[in-house]
């Protein structure tokens, strides 16, 4: 039942490498790992990717996706695009079918990005096209999540998919869509047939900041909470994905509360129960 779960950001705070993440996945009966641009991949390193893939292969672990947190608009856009291309090479070396990257990851204050919406949207589209073409030539497909204040919400995400003019895939992020003030089921009803990958997290929406909350477009606050303690309708979300034929991975984008194997076991067991995988 755990075969559809994937480690994303490592659930164990004590882990400090992707070799350690692979070993944790083995201990907890998982089959895949999703990497982020941290640890040995703080910068694109194809040789490190080849070494990690060989180790993972020996452990029976595959890589479900490679994710990059980046900003593709503004003065450093050209340099960042080249960096993300480097991670497309890393994804290919790992044998990952997907490269996921952010576009305009300004989460704290919508007023920092929404005044520049049209300019940033056009820049983001151009960057995605360039990265998609580079990655596709290496057998890797780029995929995108409902994220931030511009590339989020049913209407804005649909505009992105219509205007990008590439066969990009969709990452269903359980949580991020709430930042647009919309519902997760509405997003999935619109785009589930294009979903290639899922990020699992739980969030609570509150009228005020309870500490560490992120602003939403409708003036509320989104707080990430332990699985099962927030407002994400997991059963409905998974049902909508299954109805559309989704049979991919559910990456645990959440951390265990403690750096112990028992804490991770509880996290994995909770995910199995909530997702029914």
Reported as a pLDDT band with limits 50, 70 and 90, residue 260 is confident
With a pLDDT cut of 90, the percent of the chain lying above it is 82
For the CA atoms of 17, 38, 67, 148, the dihedral, rounded to the nearest 10 degrees, stands at: 140
For 115-144, what is the mean pLDDT?
96
Round to whole Å and give the CA distance between 42 and 36: 8
Torsional sign, CA 47, 140, 16, 62: negative
Round to whole Å and give the CA distance between 15 and 11: 8
* Model confidence pLDDT, tens digit, residues 24-74: 999 999 999 999 999 999 999 999 999 999 999 999 999 999 999 999 998
DSSP annotation of 179 reads G
Check if the beta carbon of residue 170 is closer than 8 Å to that of residue 199.
Answer: no
Q: pTM for the full model?
A: 0.96
**Whole-number pLDDT of residue 153:** 93
**Whole-number pLDDT of residue 170:** 98
**Cα–Cα–Cα angle for 238, 228, 17, rounded to 5 degrees:** 90
**Whole-number pLDDT of residue 113:** 84
State the residue for tokens 């990020």: 199
What totals of helices (H) and strands (E) does the chain contain, helices first? 8, 11
Beta strands in the chain (DSSP E): 5-7, 32-36, 62-68, 98-101, 141-145, 169-173, 195-200, 202-206, 214-215, 221-225, 250-252
Inform me whether the pLDDT recorded for 228 exceeds 90. Answer: yes
User: Which tokens hold the place of 237?
Assistant: 């979300």
**Whole-number pLDDT of residue 190:** 97
**Whole-number pLDDT of residue 1:** 64
Reported as a pLDDT band with limits 50, 70 and 90, residue 259 is confident
Architecture of the 2-202+232-275 domain: Alpha-Beta Barrel (3.20)
Check if the beta carbon of residue 30 is closer than 8 Å to that of residue 6.
Answer: yes
Torsional sign, CA 205, 207, 212, 218: positive
For 226-245, what is the mean pLDDT?
96
Round to whole Å and give the CA distance between 131 and 143: 11
* Model confidence pLDDT, tens digit, residues 84-120: 999 999 999 999 999 999 999 876 678 888 889 999 9
Q: Where are the domains of the chain?
A: 2-202+232-275
Torsional sign, CA 213, 230, 63, 152: negative
The average confidence (pLDDT) of the chain is 94
Round to whole Å and give the CA distance between 127 and 136: 14
Inform me whether the pLDDT recorded for 256 exceeds 90. Answer: no
**Whole-number pLDDT of residue 277:** 87
CA dist 43 to 9, 71, 72, Å? 16, 15, 16
**Whole-number pLDDT of residue 107:** 62
- Other CB atoms within a 10 A radius of the CB of residue 146 amount to 28
Residue predicted with more confidence, 174 or 260: 174
Tell me the pairing of strands 62-68 and 98-101. Answer: parallel
**Whole-number pLDDT of residue 108:** 63
Return the biggest CA–CA distance within the chain.
50
The backbone torsions φ and ψ at residue 262, rounded to the nearest 5 degrees and listed phi first, read -65, -40
**Whole-number pLDDT of residue 258:** 77
* Model confidence pLDDT, tens digit, residues 4-23: 999 998 777 788 999 999 99
């Amino acid at each position: 039942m755990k075969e559809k779960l994937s480690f994303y950001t490592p659930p164990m705070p004590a882990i400090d490498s992707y070799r350690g993440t692979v070993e944790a996945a083995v201990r907890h009966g998982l089959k895949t790992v999703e990497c982020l641009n941290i640890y040995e991949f703080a910068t694109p390193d194809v040789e490190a990717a080849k070494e990690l893939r060989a180790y993972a292969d020996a452990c029976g672990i595959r890589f479900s996706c490679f994710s990059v947190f980046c900003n593709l608009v503004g003065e450093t856009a050209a340099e960042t695009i080249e960096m993300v291309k480097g991670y497309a090479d890393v994804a290919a070396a790992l044998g990952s079918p997907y490269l996921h990257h952010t576009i305009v990851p300004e989460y704290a204050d919508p007023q920092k990005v929404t005044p520049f919406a049209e300019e940033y949207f056009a820049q983001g589209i151009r960057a995605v096209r360039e990265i998609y073409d580079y990655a596709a030539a290496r057998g890797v497909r780029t995929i995108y999540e409902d994220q931030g204040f511009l590339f989020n919400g049913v209407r804005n995400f649909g505009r992105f998919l219509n205007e990008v003019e590439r066969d990009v895939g969709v990452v269903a992020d359980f949580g991020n869509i709430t930042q647009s003030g919309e519902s997760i089921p509405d997003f999935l009803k619109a785009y589930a047939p294009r979903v290639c990958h899922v990020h699992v997290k739980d969030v609570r929406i509150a009228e005020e900041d309870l500490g560490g909350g992120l602003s939403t477009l409708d003036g509320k606050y989104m707080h990430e909470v332990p699985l099962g303690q927030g407002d994400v309708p997991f059963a409905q979300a998974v049902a909508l994905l299954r109805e559309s034929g989704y049979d991919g991975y559910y990456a645990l984008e959440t951390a265990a509360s403690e750096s112990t194997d028992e804490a991770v076991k509880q996290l994995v067991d909770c995910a199995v129960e909530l997702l029914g995988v």
